[in-house]
Amino acid sequence: MSVGVKPGSLSVGQVSRRLLVVLTLMFTLLSTEKSPVSANTQIFYEPFAQGWTPGTAWSLATGANYTAQIWDEPTQTPRFALRLTPAGTQRSGGLIYNRPIPISSGLDVSFTFSMWGGTGADGMNFFLQKGTETSSVLPAGGTLGYSADRNQTPNLDGLRNGLLGIGLDMFGNHGNTQFDGTGCPTLSPRPGANALVVRGPGSLKAGYCILGSLKNTKTNWASGASHSTTARTLRAKAIRIIIDPSTVATPQVKIWICAANTTCSTAGAPDLAVNSPAALMNEPTVRFGFSATTGGITNRHEVWNLRVDSQAVFPPVVITTQTLPNGGIGTAYSASVAVNGIAPYTFAVTSGTLPSGLSLNPLTGQITGTPTTAGTYNFTVETTDSRVVGEVGRTATQPYTVTISGGPVCTVTYDEAGGSAVANTDYSQGDSITLPAAPTRAGYSFVGWFTAATGGSPLTSPHTPSGCNVELIARWALLYNVTYEERGGTTVTDTTFISGGTVTLPPAPTRAGFTFQGWFTAPDGGTQYGSTATPPDGNVTIYAQWLPYTVTYEERGGTAVSDTTFNCPTTCDTITLPPAPTRAGYVFEGWYTAPTGGTRYGATYVPTAKDQVIYAQWTPYEVSFNTQGGTAVAGWIIGSNATITLPPAPTRAGFTFNGWFTTPTGGSPVGSTYGPHTGDLEFFAQWSPVLHNVTYQEYGGTAVPDTTFVSGGTVTLPANPTRAGYTFDGWFTAQTGGTMYNPTFSPPDGNLVVHAQWTQNPFTVTYEEYGGTTVSDSTFVSGGTITLPPRPTRAGYTFDGWFTAQSGGTKYGSTSSPPDGNLVVHAQWTQISANTLFTVTYQEYGGTTVPDATFLSGGTVTLPTAPTRAGYTFDGWFTEPSDGTMFGSSFSPPDGNVEVHAQWTQIPFTVTYEEHGGTTVVDDVFVSGGTVTLPADPTRAGYTFSGWFTAQTGGTRFSSTFSPSDGNLVVHAQWTQNPAPAPSSSPFSVTYEEHGGTTVSDSTFVSGGTVTLPTAPTRAGYTFNGWFSAQTGGTKYGSSFSPSDGNVVVHAQWTQNPAPSPAPTPSPAPVVVSALPAPSPTVPLKTVVVKKRPTTPVLPATGYGSEQLLLMALALMIAGFFTTNMRRPKVD
């Protein structure tokens, strides 16, 4: 688009306005351009539902203190989601999808998230990382687990090789430049809380600059004013992120926010769009993941319904290495399996075995080692690339054969003697070879491989050649023809044989109406061949001979029936079936086509042209026993005129056996035997029910007659009894508790006791206040106790107590056990005079004694000096033993005696763990009478942990949980040194981690050797502190040191040089004080637990950081400069 301007026709301001219109039009065109990622190819969909596990595709964050996991909230919708952090302080969690996916064709990412159930911290982050990155370390600090954290000493690293971080920032840290890495411009104003903030590429402590942000009603992630939403869907929202393909002129990252559990529409302009960083567009593949953190305040961070789409086409994985070289014993071997697909790959041997002494690297595909055993090894290698799990074409296999020789390579050459060519075979002297496939030669049959032209026997495979470099010779035999004369039967293929060879006869042909008799030397008569024949040299003819078909009768236990034959010249002969056979104890049912089932033949039938088998079927006489509800009794089969011996009596719960009968009811029982009898017979068991007693226990109620019931019957309960002074609750299975019976129920067999249960009717207690404040009446039951209410008050009077009469009578104590009957309790009063003294009683609860005091009506009480109590801190004087109101230094009580209560907080004792060279263990506290649970075992290089003891050596070993005596406690770790390993002749590696400094070459050392550290590296803006055993903390090495056997990693540590201007002071982290419960109901205790600060990095406290410079002012200055310096174009 071009703009023509007439000379002299526009002022500078008009030009500026016209330029603004053009720029606005261009921005509108760009913002309405459709996303190239429109017709997506789904790479990945994960609802994070029940049963999800990380598997091999996801890597849980290392360095986090919470394991991301599926969380079941049965009352929430959805019920299952991936929880990144719980609602706790200083928590971090996350995970990475470790399969690289292409980025050049663009990405379309959608998911639903919720931050709920806490006090509003900090937020969560969706990020992209280089696809070649293999680390799963997420930063414990920084902004929502993405960028570096300059609020810590030393500064904490951000995500390694991060490309993009999209922060759903609830508290404001993701938009805080305090969490920029090095090299970022200042930004002011910062987005603040409840914003969508996009950060760009960064790694370790560099980069992570803010690219753009959005803050409006859509980004109000906060759960209301108190951040205490109790359902994951109340603040849940969906987000859609589209990353343009690299082929777009100005690729962007576009973000839409919409309702939860939907896919945001891209029809309108995005809620936020930023230009894609060049570092992102230049990467072929990326990994993605989620992270979340909390600080001093809390929230649950959850995500579900994740979908990742791309236009990329994934090529199938292909193993390009088709063969591997052979090797020899004692000679180092190295070969690689090359692959085309999506890196990284994994490799595995899925069948067969590698040669002894060789191994396959599962990550690189290299096969290395030194062979130890000669032989030929067949194995298959499978490779898997990094595409989505379950996608077709992500695995490939390749079979290999590798021969390991034991000496010089020898060759077998083959003399084919006129046959087709055979390739030579290499072998090691003394090894066996597999003989090649037989060659071919027209008109001849291959006899085998021989070591000479004549004599000897054919060789068998495998064959061990004698000596080195041998020749094997093929031998051939002339072929003769074998012609088969089927003589009306189905066609049989002719064959050949060699001189002196054997002919295997073919399967029998078939011929309608005839049975094949065999192969013969002549059409009729002659000699029958067996299954094989050895004919004389020369062509030979073999003849089929035929017989009629046979009918075979299968009597199946009956009397014998002779078989017959029939012919089928054109149609088959009619067969007349023989008379019925007989079988003792059975009835003949007829002749059938099958032993059971099948079709019954008539008296005659016309068969088909094949041999026939006809089966007799029989029905036996059966005796069965119907026990009519009793235990089962098996029946049996009897013969004709058999006498039956009856079986033992069955049993039936709740019934008596009356005997076996021939009818279900009535009749007379049969004896122990029955018969003789022919035919089927059924016997019936008959029973008499057993009566069970029902006994009613009235427990003081009116009498109820006992009853009975029969087995399997029901019981109907009687009318309710009565009992003076009680209400009937019902009939129950026990005297107290138990289950209440229904009016009619079916009890199990056996005598039954049914119990009446009662509720005693209460008596009333009426309080007569006589001008005092109102006291609620109460009740009690016979034999019960009443607790008198708090004292009432009456202006100008002192309460004397509760009495049995309005005047005189007997005074009640604080509790009383009155006789049965309604009760009236009377308040008695004494009028107060101006000079009446009242008593102040001090309850010290274990503290030093404080004298009681007095005060006049309307006077003031000055509280005494605080008492003391060993092991406790005095909290003050209160109106109650626990809780209540704290008195000031003096107070004016109402008329009447007063009790003042001391309240205390128990002082905790410390438990100090002395690791004596082991890994650090956090110290602990306990209170008097409490228990101590020992921590997880520490570790120490070269030692085995023996346990926690009362002394560094000797002493008594502590159990896992114990109750110490009062006082601070020191617990000592004791160790047993491991046996020294045998010295290794192989060198160990020394790897130098520069952590942003200039590169230092790695080195090696041998067992027992010394490592001399290299010259210090350098790093812009930092001072080198030295070489250490860990990235932070750890032990500083000298100029040289003698490490223990094993590979060693040495870390550079740095101190950042002071910035040119002082950094603003961060807001202090909130202090968390927790109150332990009081040890007894009468002595209130408040315990302050002060925990030892962890030595590992913690998440930053939530809060606002420094203010940035106004980026908008700088942009306006540049625009003004551009406008005032515009040149008017010349118009011809």
pLDDT of 158 over the 80 cut = yes
Distance CA 1028, CA 1041 (A): 11
Q: Is there a cis peptide before residue 189, judged by omega within 30 degrees of 0?
A: yes
pLDDT over 90 at 140, yes or no: no
Residue 554 CB partners (closer than 8 Å, separation 6+): 595, 613, 614, 615, 616
Instruction: Please state the separation of Cα 412 from the chain's center in Å.
Output: 58
Taking the domains of the chain in order of start, what are their residue ranges? Answer: 48-105+114-229+277-305, 318-405, 549-619, 621-689, 691-760, 763-831, 837-906, 909-977
9-23, 464-478, 560-574, 1049-1063 — most confident range: 464-478
The stretch 259-275 carries a mean pLDDT of 93
CA 477 to chain centre: 69
Of the CA atoms within 13 Å of residue 357, those in its CB half-sphere come to 17
Task: For CA atoms 536, 539, 543, 544, give the dihedral sign.
Answer: positive
Q: How confident is the model at residue 116 (pLDDT cuts 50, 70, 90)?
A: confident
Cβ atoms of 687 and 628 closer than 8 Å: yes
Give the confidence band of 386 by pLDDT, cuts at 50, 70, 90.
Answer: low
Helix (H) or strand (E) holding 660: strand 655-661
Class of domain 48-105+114-229+277-305: mainly beta
Q: What are the pLDDT digits (tens) for 687-727?
A: 888 888 999 999 999 999 999 998 888 999 999 999 988 89
Q: Domain 621-689 adopts which CATH fold?
A: Immunoglobulin-like (2.60.40)
User: Residue 660 pairs with which residues in a beta bridge?
Assistant: 685
Residue 196 has pLDDT above 60, yes or no: yes
| CATH class for the domain made up of 549-619 | mainly beta
Answer whether residue 74 shows pLDDT above 70. Answer: yes
Architecture per CATH, domain 318-405, reads as Sandwich (2.60)
What is the distance between the alpha carbons of residues 724 and 266, in angstroms, rounded to a whole number? Answer: 81
**pLDDT confidence tier of residue 222, bands split at 50, 70 and 90:** low
Rg, Å, the chain Cα set: 50
Output the six-digit token pair for 743.
């009016």
In terms of Cα–Cα distance, which of 620, 673, 690, 42 is closest to 306?
42
Q: How far apart are alpha carbons 802 and 335 in whole angstroms?
A: 102
Residue 12 has pLDDT above 80, yes or no: no
Matching CATH number, 909-977, of 2.60.40.4270, 1.10.3720.10, 1.10.510.10, 1.10.540.10 = 2.60.40.4270
Q: Quick one: average pLDDT of 143-158?
A: 79
Query: Residue 654 carries which DSSP code?
Result: T
User: pLDDT (tens digit, 9 = 90+) per residue, 911-964?
Assistant: 999 999 999 999 999 888 889 999 999 999 889 999 999 999 999 999 989 999
Q: Looking at the predicted structure, is the pLDDT value of residue 372 above 50?
A: yes
Write the pLDDT tens digit of every residue in 964-1017: 998 899 999 999 998 865 555 568 899 999 999 999 999 998 888 899 999 999
Residue 512 sits at φ, ψ, to 5 deg, of: -60, 125
**pLDDT value, residue 537:** 84
* Banded model confidence at residue 1101, pLDDT cuts 50, 70, 90: very low
What integer pLDDT is reported at residue 515 of this predicted model?
79
Q: What is the Cα 171 distance to its own chain's centre?
A: 31
**In this model, does residue 160 exceed pLDDT 80?**
yes
User: What is d(CA 1125, CA 1109) in angstroms, rounded to the nearest whole number?
Assistant: 26
**pLDDT tens per residue across span 535-554:** 988 899 999 888 777 889 99
Among 77-86, 192-201, 273-282, 303-312, the range scoring the smallest mean pLDDT is 303-312
**Predicted local distance difference test score (pLDDT) of residue 9:** 36
Fold of 837-906: Immunoglobulin-like (2.60.40)
Please state the rounded mean pLDDT for residues 316-322. Answer: 89
d(CA 834, CA 350): 104
User: How far from 248 is each of 164, 399, 831, CA to CA, in Å?
Assistant: 18, 44, 97
How crowded is the C-beta side of 561, counted as CA atoms within 13 Å? 22
pTM over 0.85: no
The domain covering 763-831 belongs, at the CATH homologous superfamily level, to Listeria-Bacteroides repeat domain (2.60.40.4270)
Burial class (CB in 10 A: 0-12, 13-18, 19+), 496: middle
Question: Residue 761 — pLDDT band, cuts 50, 70, 90?
Answer: confident
Closest CA to 689 of 658, 646, 666, 721: 658
More confident residue, 832 or 484: 484
Contact yes or no for 637/608 (Cβ under 8 A): no
Of 492, 494, 491, 493, nearest in space to 479 by CA: 494
Q: How far apart are CA 565 and CA 192, in angstroms?
A: 106
**Half-sphere CA count of 826, side-chain side, radius 13 A:** 11
Give the CA distances from residue 21 to residues 14, 25, 27, in Å, rounded to whole numbers and listed in that order. Answer: 11, 6, 10
DSSP string covering 992-1006: EE-TTS-----EEE-
* pLDDT surpassing 60 at residue 1116: no
Diameter of the chain measured on Cα atoms: 156
Amino acid 985: pLDDT:
58
CATH architecture of 691-760: Sandwich (2.60)
Give counts: helices (H), strands (E), the chain. Answer: 3, 76
Q: What is the DSSP letter of 771?
A: T
How does residue 831 score in pLDDT terms, banded at 50, 70 and 90? confident
β strands within 451-603, DSSP E: 470-485, 495-498, 503-504, 515-520, 532-533, 540-547, 549-554, 564-566, 575-576, 586-592
DSSP reduced 3-state for 816: strand
Q: What confidence score (pLDDT) does residue 388 get?
A: 52
The reported pLDDT for the residue numbered 280 is 92
Q: Which residue has the higher pLDDT, 710 or 381?
A: 381
CB 1091 within 8 A of CB 1080: no
> In CATH terms, are 837-906 and 909-977 the same topology?
yes
Residue 661 has pLDDT above 70, yes or no: yes
Cβ count near 381 (within 10 Å): 24
Instruction: Read off the pLDDT of each residue in 495-500 and give the average, rounded to a whole number.
Output: 86
**pLDDT band at residue 1121 using 50, 70 and 90 as cut-offs:** very low
